[in-house]
């Protein structure tokens, strides 16, 4: 399967890197203090900024301390982040200025996870701090495309979360490649098991049929 695209926009957690277990541990501790009984991993909020989840679940008067607490907990575990299959090979093959990361994490956490996984950090890196509204709003991917000097319609987004897919589509992104079973029913161009075997050359993104979970 091939797509003509001028730039590549990657979500980070669940697409390029695996930080899921660390996030579960951090949010479980957080919930025990600010939202007892809440099972964070069952809420379907993957891809949403931490500060937006804190607003949903913490008492309003405790927002600042609750937000600081989850930021500290997640940063403590950032060093355990590892690359997901195919991520290092793909991004290492891409020319500077042709790709970036659009993560919902704050800048400190996002950079810590990318570096812990041994991935290069693109100059155009977009984090949750950079936008007024996080995913599923279009702001992150609009900013990512803008930093590459491209129209979103000429870009591909790689996403593992429904909120991220909705963000990409709201931004007018032309191609959305879903990663993993969580986005099988989302508005994606195709779904793959991982980034393994995916290449981009001369404006052509090639997705091997062996990795497809869902095609057009």
Residue 91: name the closest of 206, 198, 214 by CA. 198
Taking residue 68's Cβ as centre, other Cβ atoms within 10 Å add up to 11
Q: What is the pLDDT of residues 84-95, one digit of tens each?
A: 999 999 999 999
Rounded Cα–Cα distance for residues 201 and 204 (Å): 5
Report whether 110 contacts 126 (CB < 8 A): no
User: Which residue, chain included where needed, has tokens 């599923």?
Assistant: 136
Q: Residue 8 is encoded by which pair of tokens?
A: 């590549």
Report whether 16 contacts 114 (CB < 8 A): yes
Gyration radius (Cα) of the chain, Å: 17
pLDDT of residue 81: 94
Q: What is the pLDDT of residues 108-120, one digit of tens each?
A: 999 999 999 999 9
pLDDT of residue 216: 62
Whether this prediction's pTM lies above 0.85 is answered by yes
Question: Across the strands, what pairs with 116?
Answer: none
Burial of 184 (0-12, 13-18, 19+ CB in 10 A): exposed
With a cut of 70, which residues of the chain have pLDDT below it?
216
Q: Residue 40 is encoded by which pair of tokens?
A: 């964070």
Q: Give 120-128's long-range contacts (Cβ < 8 A, gap of 24+).
A: 120/91, 120/92, 122/96, 123/96, 123/97, 124/97, 124/100, 124/148, 125/100, 125/101, 126/100, 126/101, 126/102, 127/103, 128/49, 128/50, 128/51, 128/103, 128/104
Q: Where are the domains of the chain?
A: 2-18+81-214, 20-79
Residue 118: name the closest of 98, 92, 141, 148 by CA. 92
Give me the architecture of the 2-18+81-214 domain, per CATH: 3-Layer(aba) Sandwich (3.40)
pLDDT of residue 215: 79
pLDDT of residue 134: 94
Cα 196 to Cα 75, 80, 86, 89, 115, distances in angstroms: 28, 21, 4, 8, 20
């Amino acid at each position: 399967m091939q797509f003509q695209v001028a730039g590549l926009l990657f979500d980070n957690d669940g697409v390029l890197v695996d930080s899921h277990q660390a996030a579960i541990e951090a949010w479980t501790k957080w919930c025990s203090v600010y939202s007892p009984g809440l099972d964070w991993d069952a809420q379907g909020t993957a891809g949403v900024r931490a500060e937006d989840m804190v607003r949903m679940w913490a008492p309003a008067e405790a927002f600042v301390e609750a937000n600081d607490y989850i930021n500290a907990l997640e940063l403590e575990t950032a060093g355990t982040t590892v690359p997901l299959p195919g991520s290092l090979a793909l991004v290492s093959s891409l020319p500077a200025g042709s790709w970036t990361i659009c993560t919902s994490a704050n800048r400190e956490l996002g950079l810590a996870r990318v570096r812990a996984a041994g991935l290069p950090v693109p100059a155009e890196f977009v984090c949750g701090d950079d936008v007024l509204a996080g995913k599923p709003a279009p702001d992150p991917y609009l900013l990512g495309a803008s930093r590459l000097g491209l129209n979103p319609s000429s870009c591909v987004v790689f996403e593992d979360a429904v909120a991220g897919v909705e963000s990409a589509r709201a931004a007018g992104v032309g191609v959305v490649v879903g990663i993993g079973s969580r986005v099988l029913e989302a508005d994606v161009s195709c779904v793959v098991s991982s980034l393994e075997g995916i290449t981009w050359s001369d404006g052509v993104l090639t997705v091997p049929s062996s990795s497809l979970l869902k095609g057009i």
